[in-house]
Amino acid sequence: MILPRSFLIYGALAALLSGCVAPESTWTTRSEIFIERDETAFVPGALDGAIEALGGSSGGGSLLSQDTSDPDEDDGEDLVYTVPRSAMLGARIHAERAMSKRATWTVSATGALGKSTYFLPDGAEIPINPEVPTKFEEPITVKFQTASIDLAAGAKRRVYDGQKFDVDLTGTAGILFTLTKTDVASPIFILDDWETQELPYVSLAVKLTANRKGKATGKARSQPFLTLGARAYPGVGARFVTQLGMQF
């Protein structure tokens, strides 16, 4: 029997984390809700599926990354598009266990729903025929609706303790599972397609969390946070992450 890659990765991470914790430490949990711009790592694969549904060849993911711009050239082939809509709402559960006074091991599970729209006013070349891509000059609108599950594990270090906010640095490895509905529309054709993907990644992020204490109990209440970081998806690319949310 061949085990899925994700199973092997998380089995190894679980074995690592179980053996590298402080002897008397216990796991603690917290939950978060957040908003950010929609994920982009799924775009190439989702577009590949849509192009194949149109009767073309794989490789359609280049539709939104065509760029022949060169400061010494002006051949009119640059792809022009705007993103009038891009948003994602998510909820996350964290579990942490101390490995020292200021560092913890961390695992998390995140569920999110995202929507984004890409508008190409001048159309684009679509590789229906891999040898001679078809040029559609009419405007094209591409819409994505995505449900995702994100599983991650790594380490976190507190780098600043303040009266008003704390700063944590976190590095993780994870896998993003996505289910994406892609709608592509132009005056000439309309198509839709569903695609599932499994996208491994590594990430590094800085999180600023406000310190809020209840007046009566002195205990921490819900705390707003801002996360700034970057993710790298092998074979896909990298993106910046900016999340604004509340943890409980």
Contacts of 194 (CB under 8 A, 6+ apart): 49, 179, 180, 181, 182
Please, what is the end-to-end C-alpha distance for the chain in angstroms? 41
> Collapsing DSSP states into helix, strand and coil, what is residue 139?
coil
pLDDT band of residue 132 (cuts 50, 70, 90) is low
d(CA 231, CA 237): 8
The better pLDDT of the pair 42, 135 is held by 42
Torsion of Cα atoms, 156 then 110 then 239 then 147, to 10°: 180
Could you tell me which of 171, 244, 173 has the C-alpha nearest to residue 209? 244
Once rounded to an integer, what is the mean pLDDT over residues 224-232?
Answer: 97
Cα four-point dihedral sign 29, 34, 36, 42: positive
pLDDT at site 69: 36
Could you tell me which of 89, 100, 208, 200 has the C-alpha nearest to residue 151? 200
Per the prediction, the chain carries an average pLDDT of: 82
pLDDT above 70 covers a percentage of the chain that reads 74
For residue 125, how many C-alpha atoms fall within 13 Å in the half-sphere facing its CB?
16
pLDDT band of residue 18 (cuts 50, 70, 90) is very low
pLDDT band of residue 135 (cuts 50, 70, 90) is confident
d(CA 173, CA 231): 9
Residue pLDDT, tens place only, 42-69: 998 888 888 777 765 555 445 665 443 3
Once rounded to an integer, what is the mean pLDDT over residues 145-150?
Answer: 98
DSSP secondary structure code for residue 248 in this structure? -
Residue owning tokens 């599970």: 109
pLDDT at site 73: 40
Give how far Cα 214 sits from Cα of 49, 97, 211, 219, 223, Å. 51, 25, 10, 5, 11
pLDDT at site 47: 85
Residue pLDDT, tens place only, 159-209: 999 989 999 999 999 999 999 999 999 888 888 999 999 999 999 999 999
Residue pLDDT, tens place only, 62-107: 566 544 333 344 444 567 889 999 999 999 999 999 999 999 999 9
Q: Is the pLDDT of residue 15 over 80?
A: no
DSSP code string of 28-67? EEEEEEEEESPP-TTHHHHHHHHHHHTT--S-GGGGGT--
> Residue ranges of the domains in the chain?
5-65+79-247
Q: Are strands 134-136 and 124-126 parallel, antiparallel or unpaired?
A: antiparallel
- Yes or no: say if 25 and 97 are a contact pair by the CB < 8 Å rule: yes
